[in-house]
Amino acid sequence: MPFAIRMHRTGGPEVLSWEEVEVADPAPGEVRVRHAAVGLNYIDVYHRTGLYPLPLPSGLGLEAAGVVEAVGSAVSEFHPGDRVAYAGGPVGAYSQVRCLPADRLLKLPPAIDFQTAAAMMLQGLTSAYLLRRTCHVQTGDAVLIHAAAGGVGLIACQWARALGATVIGTVSNEAKAALAMAHGCDHVIDYTREDFARRVREITGGAGVRVVYDGVGKDTFAGSLDSLQTCGMLVSFGNASGPVPPFDPLLLSQKGSLFLTRPTLMHYTAKRSDLLALGTELFDVVGAGKVRIEVHQTYPLAEVAGAHRDLEARKHTGSTVLLP
Ligand SMILES: NC(=O)c1ccc[n+]([C@@H]2O[C@H](COP(=O)([O-])OP(=O)(O)OC[C@H]3O[C@@H](n4cnc5c(N)ncnc54)[C@H](OP(=O)(O)O)[C@@H]3O)[C@@H](O)[C@H]2O)c1
């Protein structure tokens, strides 16, 4: 029998247990995929802690790459032996083999190996919709990207630079600063030591940036608003430091008729046509060498609890892959 990570209650990394599971034949519209590599994402922490509630008991994980083993009836796009990858629900990617709806899969270009695919799908598709759908980044824009040396960060910074933006990144230490500078950032700010909003004003000659991409949440929300130009947009897309507390929308008016959106990848890829379009844009920038996918950590899937500990302790850079 195959193994998977299961959780029976929310809590710390210790709630993640490696268990034998039964995997049925694929239902109509489903495929069964044998995973070669599984992605680690911050949303997995929110699911584990219960910040984003899941019905329990549950599997975990939203991203993996592998080979199609079997297809259910009414599946014509995929065949056994196809190399595929996915990012998004239903949860359960922390597993050796699983069934999932065929319309969530993308076929992998031959040049993209499984570990790269598992590292890039969720963070890369996220970068795609952040930069190309929420606020369409264009040549000459100044943008601020928090946690620039992280999984989404390294991909988004390179991509924003390739789009012609001036990229300002924030990080928590010198090693991460060097990494962010080598991956698309024009300027890096250590937001644990400096007032990043003031530095952004200095860098932009007082104007502020057109858009802030903020996956840090609670600790950066106020400073992110203070970093924007008039009519700029805050894209608040994560809670690595905790969720943003309630605030008065009048603030948006007082700080320059600002726009705020709190998006999620799931809505931007809900339609298969949208998923395919974003996937093509992602494979294109990676294939063209404009965005390099950096797998900086790997862990055996069975030891994913340690990966969660390190992620929450801000020890990771780039992307992390779990090996089933
Ligand atoms: N809405 C969406 O569609 C969507 C999709 C994907 C990801 N996300 C969000 O994007 C963010 C980045 O995701 P990721 O998977 O690429 O993770 P990541 O950036 O690799 O890891 C999180 C980073 O956040 C920074 N951070 C700042 N304060 C922190 C704190 N108190 N605790 C932990 N980390 C802190 C750390 O970088 P420094 O040490 O440099 O500060 C850390 O490395 C997450 O918030 C995630 O939920 C959202």
What phi-psi label fits residue 179: left (phi over 0), alpha (psi between -120 and 50 degrees) or beta? Answer: alpha
Ligand 1 atom nearest residue 265's Cα:
3
277 C-alpha to ligand 1 centroid (Å): 25
- Say yes or no to pLDDT of 86 above 80: yes
Among residues 150, 149, 84, the alpha carbon closest in space to that of 118 is found at 84
When pLDDT is averaged across residues 24-31 and rounded to a whole number, the result is 97
- Say yes or no to pLDDT of 89 above 90: no
The pTM assigned to this predicted structure is 0.98
Q: Give yes or no for residue 241 CB within 6 A of ligand 1.
A: yes
Kindly list the distances between the CA atom of residue 285 and the CA atoms of 82, 124, 318, in Å, as whole numbers in the listed order. Answer: 22, 10, 17
* CA–CA separation, 166 and 204 (whole Å): 9
239 C-alpha to ligand 1 centroid (Å): 7
44 C-alpha to ligand 1 centroid (Å): 11
Pocket test for ligand 1, best of 45, 48, 314, 320 (most atoms within 8 A of CB): 314
Residue 310 CB coordination number (10 Å): 16
When pLDDT is averaged across residues 267-295 and rounded to a whole number, the result is 97
Sign, CA dihedral 183-285-292-119, equals: positive
324 C-alpha to ligand 1 centroid (Å): 24
For residue 189, name the pLDDT band (cuts at 50, 70, 90): very high
73 C-alpha to ligand 1 centroid (Å): 39
When pLDDT is averaged across residues 23-38 and rounded to a whole number, the result is 97
User: Element (H or E) spanning 187, and its range?
Assistant: strand 187-190
> 271: burial class by Cβ within 10 Å (0-12, 13-18, 19+)?
exposed
pLDDT at res. 137: 98
User: Element (H or E) spanning 273, and its range?
Assistant: helix 272-287
Helix axes 304-312 and 42-49, enclosed angle (nearest 10): 100
> 296: burial class by Cβ within 10 Å (0-12, 13-18, 19+)?
middle
Pocket test for ligand 1, best of 38, 40, 41, 42 (most atoms within 8 A of CB): 42
